[in-house]
């Protein structure tokens, strides 16, 4: 098995993709808006991916946070708010915010499961920082580490109760970024003591089954390599100080923050200690290059992958419960609007 998650180019597999994926046997797949035309089409695509490998427990993933990061949108799928909505409610009624986040996440999972999706790259545990770039911004669950951990735990629990594995991101923290890592490399000039605040939510939720690195440099920890390529940060900070022992994915290795060719990036990330690389854009030459340069998935990473997927399921249809959960979420979120 190749330790990579690959993207697909369209709403159905091409003959070239079908042959390549069957031979490469990647750890999983990621979906984007380009792959999601209708519920019937999307379920057919994910069914084909499962049939291709004969794996009932296949990692088929998506970025479905809510707000501006949502690959599935109305009219075919429900709308979900950004993290900021739960932050605002938490200021008024913490318990209500936690319950709203849990209900919304379960409804989301019921919808994803019916589409054949088993992993959601959600929740982000990055602290919102004043003056930072808005690449995180309203996606954040707040400014306080323990608040973020509390809401983040509710989201993980809600997703799991609907048969979907969540993923904490972006370790060791993206909230201080002054630039967009999709376009250039952020360098975080903060002390070890200051960064204790950033890693606190991740440490609190270090039992999560899946986590994702961020493409940022932290000179106080590693003066040369960004977190995704840094053996020191992976070993001493993510696995060490944070204590995360789940499946560790990279953020998208196509992002312009990183240097070198995409296959070289994949090789460096695996060498640094990441379990699996995320390669989103379905460029055949990149995917073929990753297969050539990356080693087979390690036994330890394969075990983590199995554990991450053990509780996932694929439903026959969207459970009727989803509508009630969304109504409950919206009723609770309305409390913040009434208070304002």
3-state secondary structure string, 139-192?
HCCCCCHHHHHHHHHHHHHHHHHCCCECCEEEECCCCCCCCCCCCCCCECCCCH
Give catalytic status of residue 157 as yes or no.
no
Token readout for 268 is: 């460096």
87, 126, 251, 252: which is the annotated catalytic residue?
251
262 phi/psi in degrees, rounded to 5: -60, -45
| Separation between Cα atoms, residue 176 and residue 290, nearest integer Å | 31
Give catalytic status of residue 174 as yes or no.
no
Residues in the chain: 340
182, 259, 285, 306: which is the annotated catalytic residue?
182
| Separation between Cα atoms, residue 125 and residue 103, nearest integer Å | 18
What sections of the chain are H helices per DSSP? 15-24, 39-53, 83-92, 94-114, 145-161, 192-204, 231-232, 262-272, 284-293, 299-309, 321-339
Q: Which residues are catalytic?
A: 182, 251
């Amino acid at each position: 098995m190749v330790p990579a998650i690959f993207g697909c180019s369209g709403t159905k597999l091409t003959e070239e993709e079908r042959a390549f994926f069957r031979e490469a046997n990647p750890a999983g797949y990621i979906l984007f808006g380009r792959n999601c035309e209708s519920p019937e089409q999307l379920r057919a695509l994910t069914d084909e991916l499962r049939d291709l490998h004969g794996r009932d427990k296949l990692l088929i993933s998506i970025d479905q946070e809510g707000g501006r990061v949502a690959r599935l949108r109305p009219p075919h799928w429900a709308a979900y708010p950004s993290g900021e909505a739960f932050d605002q409610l938490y200021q008024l009624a913490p318990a209500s915010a936690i319950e709203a986040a849990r209900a919304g996440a379960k409804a989301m999972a019921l919808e994803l499961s019916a589409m054949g999706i088993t992993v959601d790259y959600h929740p982000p545990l990055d602290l919102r920082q004043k003056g930072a770039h808005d690449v995180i911004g309203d996606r954040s669950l707040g400014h306080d580490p323990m608040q973020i951990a509390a809401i983040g735990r509710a989201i993980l629990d809600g997703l799991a109760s609907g048969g979907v594995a969540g993923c904490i991101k972006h370790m060791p923290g993206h909230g201080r970024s002054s630039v967009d890592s999709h376009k250039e490399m952020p360098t975080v000039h903060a002390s070890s003591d200051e960064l204790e605040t950033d890693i606190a939510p991740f440490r609190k939720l270090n039992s999560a089954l899946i986590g994702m690195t961020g493409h940022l440099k932290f000179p106080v920890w590693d003066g040369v390599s960004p977190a995704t390529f840094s053996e020191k940060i992976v070993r001493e900070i993510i696995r060490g100080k944070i204590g995360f022992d789940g499946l560790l994915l990279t953020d998208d290795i196509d992002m312009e923050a990183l240097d070198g060719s995409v296959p070289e990036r994949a090789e460096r990330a695996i060498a640094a200690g990441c379990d699996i690389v995320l390669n989103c854009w379905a460029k055949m030459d990149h995917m073929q290059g990753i297969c050539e340069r990356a080693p087979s998935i390690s036994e330890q990473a394969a075990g983590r992958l199995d554990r991450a997927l053990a509780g996932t399921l694929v439903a026959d249809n969207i459970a009727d419960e989803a509508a009630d959960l969304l109504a409950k979420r919206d009723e609770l979120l309305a409390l913040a609007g009434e208070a304002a």
